[in-house]
Amino acid sequence: MDILVCVKRVPDSAENEISVGPGGADIRREDLVYSVNEWDNYAVEEAIQIVERVGGNVTVVSVGDTEAEEIVRREMAMGANQGLLATDAAFTGSDGLGIATILEAVAQKAKYDLILTGAQADDGAAQVGGMLGALLDWPYASLVNLIKVQGDKSLRIGREIEGGSQEISDIELPCVLSIQTGINEPRYVGIRGIRKVASVEIPVLDGGALGLPPGTVGAAGARVRRVDYFVPQTGAGAEMLTGSTEEVAGKLVDLLKAKGGIK
């Protein structure tokens, strides 16, 4: 099975305090720690495990600036066979449809049986996989937390739905699936693994190579534009307790007792 996995380099929101920069034009990026989007990492692991079971190839692609190369390399160190980087100044400012359009062009350059994306990324939109499926006219399923290969024509898949229930379906190949976290346990990538792929060439695809004329993607082609970032004002917010560890613990005990939190 030839599998394409789409990955994004994002500020790790579990490791970073995200705050709004001057004028709201962007978030403050000075001290951010970047990594591969968590959902995408599960998608790469799943692709590798499928290929380990039934054979084939895993290609990892990222649409981004040249710094996205580091995450493509990291996912190759996990075990992906090839890496691709789709980068072009004209791609900057793409909306979800723009990214899906770029990925569609990447997918058309080779023959894939299966395309995986993460279920969502830093912007929480959860849109690119579904758009890519529609652009390719392939069937699609989101929030996938189980994949079983059934011959070379179809997959049995599970979708995570509300309440932790699992919706089981059969889906024809080729198809696009967006992967939910928890589907597997992504393998650890050590320094040695990264070193092994340090000099592997990662082909770069720009708008010309992908047959995307200027204006079709990027800010010029975007129907949805982020105007600014701001800090949400929701209700009164929490009353913040401050003081030494001893003092804060003491206040918490008093509050918990008053509200019946200690039995």
- 30-89 residues in contact with another protein (CB under 8 A) are none
228 counts as binding another protein under rule CB under 8 A = yes
Q: Which is nearer to another protein, 44 or 197 (CB)?
A: 44
CB 132 within 8 A of CB 103: yes
- Which of 130, 187, 193, 202 binds another protein (CB under 8 A)? It is 130
d(CA 71, CA 40): 11
The pairs formed by 76-81 with CB atoms below 8 angstroms and a separation of 24 or more are 76/197, 76/200, 76/202, 77/189, 77/193, 77/194, 77/196, 77/197, 78/44, 78/45, 78/48, 78/186, 78/187, 78/189, 78/193, 79/48, 79/187, 80/5, 80/44, 80/47, 80/48, 81/51, 81/57
d(CA 29, CA 88): 21
Token pair 């279920």 is found at 119
- Which of 22, 55, 191, 234 binds another protein (CB under 8 A)? It is 234
Retrieve residue 61's tokens: 């692609």
Q: Which helix (H) or strand (E) holds 83?
A: strand 82-86
Question: Least CB distance from residue 129 to another protein, whole Å?
Answer: 7
Task: Pick the piece of the chain touching another protein (CB under 8 A) from 48-56, 64-72, 86-94, 132-140.
Answer: 132-140
- Which of 55, 151, 163, 199 binds another protein (CB under 8 A)? It is 163
Question: Least CB distance from residue 239 to another protein, whole Å?
Answer: 6
17 counts as binding another protein under rule CB under 8 A = yes
164 counts as binding another protein under rule CB under 8 A = yes
18 counts as binding another protein under rule CB under 8 A = yes
- Which of 172, 190, 211, 213 binds another protein (CB under 8 A)? It is 172
Q: Which of residues 99-128 bind another protein (CB under 8 A)?
A: 100, 122-128
Q: Which is nearer to another protein, 62 or 101 (CB)?
A: 101
Q: Which of residues 135-154 bind another protein (CB under 8 A)?
A: 135, 139-143
- Which of 110, 204, 220, 253 binds another protein (CB under 8 A)? It is 253
CB 179 within 8 A of CB 49: no
Coil vs helix vs strand at 142: strand
167 counts as binding another protein under rule CB under 8 A = yes
